[in-house]
Amino acid sequence: MLRRTLALVLLLICCEPRRAALEPSAQRVASARVLTREYSHSTFARWKLRARAAGRDCDVLVISTSNVLDDAIVEGLHYGGGPYGVIEGGVRQFCRKQAFRGVAYKDRSQRIWTYGGDLKPDELPRLKPCG
C-alpha cells in the first residue's frame, strides 16, 4: 500500500505541467519591488523613490517620491546617466527588460512625467496599483 501511494505521488509530481515561475503581471509587481529596494540602498535613499506596477495587466511602472522633481532629474532617472545610474541603463532599460509598456514619474506636487508608447499623463489617476 505504501509503495502504491508513493508511486502515485511521484506520478502526480512528475506529470504535472510546469508553470512559468510567475505570471507576467506578478513578475512586474515583483520587479517593481526590486527597483524600490535598489533605490532605497543607493544615494537616492533619502528621496524615498517607490516603484509600483499598475494598470489592468500591471504593465505600467509608476515611480513616486515625496520630493519635487524637474525635467532634468526625471530624464536622469529614466536614462540612467551620471549620478542617476543606479541601475544599468536607467529605468528605461529596466522597463524594457521587465516588459512594462511605459513608466510614469510622480512627485510631491503631483506633477507627472510619462515615457512609453501610448501612456498619457491623464491615464495615471485611473490606473489601479497591483500587488
- Report the length, in residues, of the chain: 131
Rounded to whole angstroms, the Cα distance separating 87 from 38 reads 8
Question: Does residue 1 belong to any structural domain of this protein?
Answer: no
Count of domains for the chain: 1
Question: Does residue 63 belong to any structural domain of this protein?
Answer: yes
Question: Does residue 13 belong to any structural domain of this protein?
Answer: no
Question: Does residue 99 belong to any structural domain of this protein?
Answer: yes
Question: Does residue 100 belong to any structural domain of this protein?
Answer: yes
Question: Does residue 44 belong to any structural domain of this protein?
Answer: yes
Q: What is the pLDDT of residues 34-76, one digit of tens each?
A: 999 999 999 999 999 999 999 989 999 999 999 999 999 999 9
Residue ranges making up the domain that contains 86: 23-126
Question: Does residue 56 belong to any structural domain of this protein?
Answer: yes
Q: What is the pLDDT of residues 115-128, one digit of tens each?
A: 987 787 778 788 89
Question: Does residue 18 belong to any structural domain of this protein?
Answer: no
**What cell was used for 1?**
500500500
